[in-house]
């Protein structure tokens, strides 16, 4: 079912899709079967550059939305994004070009994801979190509400260069409410970062860290493991 007020330019839309009022699906978007697009959502937008942007913006190609995905109201997904099947993108989330998202992922409300990001399958990113550019997130990762990540210790002074590095977050890592992840940090398999922590250095696998800066507290107790 396609709403009369929706603007649909794509000719590659699967069967049983529902596109709601005032949403836009650009011609470079490919929708799988049984995809839901919420009100005022935008799929396949091409980025537009100005002199304020410190990195070169290129046309990123096709946006792929997998089977049985749900794209909620006011979400904006740019060109060159791939979303795996059975994934939910929450209200007012924004995903810019060159992002790959696996299957059965939950991106909750008001989440922002910058370019050159890979997110594995079965991962959950909760409300109001920011995933910085050049981040790699594994499978079954849990990122709680209000988590902020950064990739540049020079505050943009050197431009978008090789020193700009996001995080590596390995499978089954859990990140608590309001955590801050500083550039280039690695969070090991199954680790837990306690709420409010500031991660300035790598976190070892299966360890629990807390504080500012985050320091080792213990091995992850069995009752907190998700694997």
Q: Do 162 and 178 form a contact (C-beta atoms < 8 A)?
A: no
**Closest among 47, 104, 53, 50 to 80, alpha carbons compared:** 47
**Residue 159: per-residue pLDDT:** 66
**Residue 156: per-residue pLDDT:** 67
* SS (HEC) of the chain: CECCCCEECCCCECCCCEECCCCEECCCEEECCCCEECCCCEEEECCCCCCCCCCCCCCCCCEEECCCCEECCCCEEECCEEECCCCEECCCCEECCCEEECCCCEECCCCEECCCEEECCCCEECCCCEECCCCEECCCCEECCCCEECCCCCCCCCCCCCCCCCCEECCCCEECCCCEECCCCEECCCCEECCCCEECCCECCCEEEECCCCEEEEECCHHHCCC
Q: Do 147 and 179 form a contact (C-beta atoms < 8 A)?
A: yes
Distance from C-alpha of 46 to C-alpha of 42, rounded to nearest angstrom: 10
Q: Report pLDDT digits (tens) over 22-50.
A: 999 999 999 999 999 999 999 999 988 77
> How far apart, in Å, are the Cα atoms of 98 and each of 4, 6, 159, 219?
31, 25, 19, 36
Length of the chain as a residue count: 227
Query: What residues contact residue 75 under an 8 Å CB cut-off, 6+ apart?
Result: 38, 41, 42, 89, 90, 91, 92, 93, 94, 95
Distance from C-alpha of 88 to C-alpha of 86, rounded to nearest angstrom: 7
pLDDT along the chain (227 residues), means of 10: 96 97 97 98 89 63 97 98 98 97 98 97 98 97 98 69 86 98 97 98 98 98 94
């Amino acid at each position: 079912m396609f709403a009369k007020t929706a603007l649909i330019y794509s000719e590659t839309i699967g069967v049983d899709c529902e596109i709601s009022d005032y949403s836009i699906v650009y011609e470079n978007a490919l929708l799988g079967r049984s995809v839901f697009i919420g009100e005022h959502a935008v799929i396949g937008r091409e980025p537009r550059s100005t002199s304020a942007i410190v990195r070169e913006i290129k046309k990123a190609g096709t946006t792929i939305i997998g089977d049985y995905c749900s794209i909620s109201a006011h979400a904006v997904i740019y060109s060159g994004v791939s979303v795996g099947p059975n994934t939910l993108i929450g209200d007012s989330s924004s995903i810019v070009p060159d992002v790959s998202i696996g299957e059965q992922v939950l991106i909750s409300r008001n989440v922002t994801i910058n370019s050159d990001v890979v997110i594995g399958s079965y991962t959950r990113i909760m409300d109001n979190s920011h995933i910085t550019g050049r981040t790699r997130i594994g499978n079954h990762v849990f990122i709680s509400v209000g988590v902020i990540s950064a990739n540049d210790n020079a505050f943009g002074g050197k431009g978008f260069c090789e020193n700009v590095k996001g995080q590596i977050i390995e499978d089954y890592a859990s990140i608590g409410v309001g955590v801050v992840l500083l550039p280039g940090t690695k969070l090991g398999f199954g680790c837990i970062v306690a709420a409010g922590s500031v991660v300035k250095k790598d976190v070892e696998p299966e360890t629990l860290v807390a504080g500012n800066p985050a320091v080792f507290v213990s091995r992850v107790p069995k009752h907190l493991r998700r694997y």
